[in-house]
Structure 1
C-alpha cells in the first residue's frame, strides 16, 4: 500500500499511526512558478525542479532525481497496489490532488477499486483545523478507516481542472472558480484563493503581497512575526515559511523595491533580518502607484505567463473575478 500526501509532516504522522504501507510526500509548490500544459510528468518535473532550484531551494540535479523517484514510485504502486491519497482543503493541497488524479487517468493508471481519497477541511473536536498536521496518530488511523474509493467522475473532474490550471488563457482559470464541483467540493474555494494571488486591479499587488506589505507598514519588522500575522489572516493557510519569504524577497528586488532589509537575507537565517516599507511600497499601498506598472511583471500562474503589465490579467476584488484586458492584434 502507498500513501501519497502533501509533505513531510503529514507523512511522518501516517508512518507513526501504524496503519502500514509506505508514504510518498508529493513536495511541490504548484501555485508559484511555471506549470505549463501538455507536458509529460517527466518534462514538467524538469521544469519545476529548475524553477525550485532557481529559488535556492535545492540543487537542481538532486531535485530532478527526487522528482523522478517520486513519479516512478507512484507509477509502480498505481499499477497493481492500493493507493491512498491524503490531502487537505487549502490551495497547496488541492493543486497537488488534481495533478495526481489527472496523471492517473491520463496515463490509464486509475482504479476505482484500489485507489482511495481522504480529503478534509475539518475534524471532529479539533478547533480551527488547519491541516493533517493538527491531528494525532489515533485520529489518522480513524481517517484511514473512513477512506473512500475514488470514482470515475472525480478523476475526470480533476483532469478538467488540471487542464484549466495549466492553460495559458486566464478565462479558463476563472472557470474553475465559477463552477462548483460536487466531485471535488473543496477545489472551488482553494482556486478562488489562487486567483487572488494575481495582481489586483487596485494596485497591482497580490493578496499576499498586499497583506504582508500592510503588516510591514504598520511597524512589524521581524519576518517571523510578519509570517504569523499573515497566517492568522488566512482561513486556509497554504504558504510555508520559505514560500512566504520568497514573496517578501521579491518585493525587495528590482529598481523600485517595496520593502527594504537590514541584516542577514539567507533562507536559513532570515528571521534575524529587519524589514521596512519603502516610499514606493507606501505609495503602492495608497494606490498612488501600481506595482506591476512601476516594477514590471514576469510571473507564472499555472500555465499563464504574465510578462507585460498592460496586458496582464488582474484580480478585481470588487467584482470577485479576473479582469482580462483586451489587446489589439
Structure 2
C-alpha cells in the first residue's frame, strides 16, 4: 500500500498528514465548492476559468486569477491519475467546507470510473474541545485514525452526485430536501447543507449567519481582527467551516455595504487577504451607528 493517494482539505491538515508516517502521498484540495459558479461533476475549461475569477474576487485580489487557475488545473490532473494508485483514502471533516468538497471529489472519481475508494470522516477526537477539524490534530493523532477508514459504497457515490449537483446549481428545493434527511449515506451532509442555508441573506436584515456573527462581535467592542475571530469562533457552533480568509471577506463586505455597517481603519481601507506585507495587528474595525438600518444595496467586491 505504498502507492496510496491521500486527499484532504486544508494545508495544515495536509502537512500533518504527510508527517503521520502513513504510506503514500498527500493531495490537498483547494476550492470553495459550496459557493460560486460551476457545473456539477468534472469541470470544463470555461468552468475552471469562471471559478478562478470568482476565487480571486472573493479573496479581494489576495490571489491572482492565473495562480488560482494553475492550482485548479494541477489538482484535477492529479485526480485524473488517481486510478494509477493502489489505494485512495479521503480524509475530511464534518463541516460545510469539507462535505461540499467531499461530494464533488467523489462525483469526479465516479465519472472517471474509479470506485475503489476509502473514506475517513471525523467530527470529534478525544480530548479536543471544541473540535473543528483535522487540522487541529498532530501527526501521531492522525495516524491513529487510519484504521477507521471505510470503503465508499455505490450508494454513497450516487448520493454524492446529488449533493454536488445541489451545490453547483444552488438548488433551494434540493437543499431543503437534503437538509431534512434523517439518514444520509454521507451522514454529515444534512447539517452541512443546513449551515449553508443559514448563509443566505436574512430577509429582515440582509445578512447571512457569519456576517451577523461578525457584526455582533464588532458591536460588542471587539475591534482587532484577532479578537473578532475569537469571538465569532466561540459564538458559532462547531465544526467551523470558515477560516480567517472567509471571515476577513465577510468583514470587508460589511464595509462595502450601502450604507456601510462597519468602518475599517489601518494601512489599507480593507483587511488584507492571503499573504500580504500588511499586518493585521495594525487594523481596527468599528461598528457604525447605522448598522441596524435595513440594507438596501450591496456593492460588488473590490479587486484589491
Report how far residue 20 of structure 1 moved. 2.0
From 258, 263, 280, the counterpart of 2:261: 258
1:110 aligns with 2:114: yes
CA distance in 2, matches of 1:263, 1:47: 32
From 132, 142, 164, the counterpart of 2:144: 142
Report how far residue 233 of structure 1 moved. 1.5
From 252, 274, 277, the counterpart of 2:287: 277
**Which is further off, 160-169 or 92-101?**
160-169
**Which is further off, 267-276 or 140-149?**
267-276
**Change in CA separation of 1:35 and 1:232 when aligned onto 2, cut-off 3 Å:** farther
RMSD: 2.0
SS in 2 for 1:25: strand
**Which is further off, 207-216 or 266-275?**
266-275
Provide structure 1 residue ranges, at least 5 long, that are not aligned to the other structure: 300-329
Report how far residue 38 of structure 1 moved. 7.0
Whether the 8 Å contact between 1:42 and 1:68 is mirrored in structure 2 is: no
Aligned counterpart, 1:61: 66
Aligned counterpart, 2:196: 194
Report how far residue 155 of structure 1 moved. 0.5
Provide structure 2 residue ranges, at least 5 long, that are not aligned to the other structure: none
Report how far residue 200 of structure 1 moved. 1.0
Query: TM-score, normalised to structure 2's length?
Result: 0.88
Query: CA offsets per residue over residues 82-115 of structure 1, 9 Å max, x none?
Result: 111000011111111011011122x14331xx31
From 285, 294, 297, the counterpart of 1:295: 297
Report how far residue 241 of structure 1 moved. 0.5
Report how far residue 261 of structure 1 moved. 1.3
CA distance in 2, matches of 1:296, 1:128: 34
User: Matches of residues 211-290 of structure 1 in structure 2 within 5 Å?
Assistant: 211-234=213-236, 235-264=238-267, 265=270, 266-267=272-273, 268=276, 269-281=279-291, 283-284=292-293, 289=294
From 71, 76, 80, the counterpart of 1:75: 80
CA distance in 2, matches of 1:14, 1:275: 36
Aligned counterpart, 2:90: 85
SS in 2 for 1:30: coil
Aligned counterpart, 1:95: 100
Aligned counterpart, 2:32: 29
**Change in CA separation of 1:166 and 1:138 when aligned onto 2, cut-off 3 Å:** same
**Change in CA separation of 1:31 and 1:196 when aligned onto 2, cut-off 3 Å:** same
CA distance in 2, matches of 1:239, 1:228: 12
Whether the 8 Å contact between 1:116 and 1:148 is mirrored in structure 2 is: yes
CA distance in 1, matches of 2:46, 2:83: 20
